[in-house]
Structure 1
Amino acid sequence: MSTDFQQARVALGARMRELRTESGLSGRALALRLGWPQSKVSKVETGRQSPTAADAVAWAEAVGRPDAGAELVGRLRTLETQYRSWRRQLAGGVRPVQEAHAAQGRRTKDRRSFDPTLVPGLLQTADYAREVLTRYTRIHLSVRDVEAAVTARMERKLALRDGARSFHFLVWEGALVSRLCPPAVLADQLEALVPLLARVNVRLGIVPFDADLAVPAGVGFSIHDGALVITESWHAEMWLDDPSDVALHLRAWEALEESAVYGPAAHRVIARAGQALRRSR
């Protein structure tokens, strides 16, 4: 679990405990008013459990401070915005996640991203996206709506046609050779990348295996209008808008960009991946 997330949850719990003690209620008395187990009150106050928005409003009303409900919900929303567990996000299937990213994409005018393991979602073919999303269902026990998610991802790609937006992708060479799909699907995906090398509002840089790296490749992330970073781990996705977090990722992106190749040089790396694929078939 993200340390920043846990610290925020502990701070929220401390504020809720403060409201309870100011009201003169014991934890047991508050639990009775709310109809909760006393253990839930304790877990919320110590940051071991996140309240829902309804819980936060009910808490404020139960301690006689209904005016504090909006404050608690605001803190909760900030916490949830920064840290979005896959378990929660995928409860309704994969498509809602794609739609959330599509909504953010419509707000973004300038996007920069780095992908070390996958072809970026906005550059994926439908078949490649299908294979990738299907593989994630092996570990995330969610609704199996892969086809709907593929459709949503393809709809997101339409943003690339908007000349008023700019996209700058950095892709580690490993993403071009990772066997996350059948060879024929990967071959088609590699071919689909080549026309992007000549697009005006889309820059595609490849970080080759033999490049001198200023920083380790690390994890993937995207930067939106220099104000929001979206990154993820196996268990959660983080949406970070703290200026220091954004600045850190900008420095990482700029360091990785120094190692990228473009145009004909990038084409040669893609072709090299294609040749290796053909030799192995």
Structure 2
Amino acid sequence: MAVSPSSSAQQARQALANRLAELCRDAGLTGREIARLCGWHPSKSSRIMNARTPPSADDIRAWCRACAAEGQTDDLIASLRTVEDMWIGWRRMERAGLKQAQEARLPLFERTRRFRAYSSWFIPGLIQTYGYTEAVLRAVRRRRVEVDDVADAVAVRMERQRVLYEGDRRFALLVEESVLRNGIGGPDVQEEQLLHLRSRADGKLEP
């Protein structure tokens, strides 16, 4: 299954949050109780357990003490360092431009044989039209990226779609209905994208 670097970093953060939440449950503590034992505002433990706020190494030490699980402290801090490194790597990639971020994923897509994707925001990249991809990446660039290499990044993503036609691969793509109505790129882009999706649903996979 192909996963983007940013998604991988978020999944790693969520996995760490899940481990901390499990320690809390095993100790018979609620989020409010662990916050009280650690001397925090009650909302902090909730944010950590829901992966909205990453813990610090000191937070993990306090958490493990409160749960009487000091033996897991070093392992959890090591996991935290891994998560931090993943986020730093992704941010550096974004600063270098969107083309590099797209190119970095090519080897993963080329070696993947089973693709699964769920989206509640956008059409998955493998079945986006040129216009839709351009609209999405321009929005990303405006928010986070200094380098304007959107045209090159779109070309790389379009080239990546060749995995749809090469080799023995399987694809399972699920999107929310709202994705089909979000208006990205304007009416013309949306119409082209919906027609493209219909052709894919009909099994007309032509490069």
Normalising by structure 1, we get a TM-score of: 0.43
Larger radius of gyration: 1
Structure-2 separation of matches of 1:5 and 1:95: 30
Structure-1 separation of matches of 2:141 and 2:113: 31
In structure 1, give the amino acid aligned to 2:95: A
Q: CA offset at residue 176 of structure 1?
A: 0.8
1:184 to 171, 180, 188: 188
User: In the superposition, relative to structure 1, how do residues 148 and 77 fare at CA in structure 2: closer, same or farther (>3 Å)?
Assistant: farther
User: In the superposition, relative to structure 1, how do residues 92 and 82 fare at CA in structure 2: closer, same or farther (>3 Å)?
Assistant: closer
Spell out the pairing of 1:1-281 with structure 2 (5 A cutoff). Answer: 2=13, 47=57, 78-79=82-83, 82-83=86-87, 86-199=90-203
Q: CA offset at residue 85 of structure 1?
A: 5.9
Bigger RCO of structures 1 and 2 (CA < 8 A, at least 6 apart)? 2
Structure-2 separation of matches of 1:143 and 1:107: 29
Contact 1:87/1:140 (<8 A) preserved: no
Structure-2 separation of matches of 1:129 and 1:86: 20
In structure 1, give the amino acid aligned to 2:131: D
Structure-2 separation of matches of 1:158 and 1:152: 11
CA deviation map 1:198-226 (0-9, x unaligned): 3399xxxxxxxxxxxxxxxxxxxxxxxxx
In structure 1, give the amino acid aligned to 2:135: E
Percent of pairs identical after alignment?
33
Q: CA offset at residue 80 of structure 1?
A: 6.2
- TM-align CA RMSD: 3.2
Contact 1:131/1:181 (<8 A) preserved: yes
User: In the superposition, relative to structure 1, how do residues 197 and 84 fare at CA in structure 2: closer, same or farther (>3 Å)?
Assistant: farther
In structure 2, give the amino acid aligned to 1:180: I
In structure 2, give the amino acid aligned to 1:161: Y
Contact 2:57/2:80 (<8 A) preserved: no
Higher share of residues assigned strand: 1
Structure-2 separation of matches of 1:120 and 1:84: 24
Paired residue total:
139
Structure-1 separation of matches of 2:193 and 2:79: 42
Structure 1 unaligned runs (5+)? Answer: 7-45, 49-73, 202-281
CA deviation map 1:127-153 (0-9, x unaligned): 110011001122103311100100000
CA deviation map 1:247-270 (0-9, x unaligned): xxxxxxxxxxxxxxxxxxxxxxxx
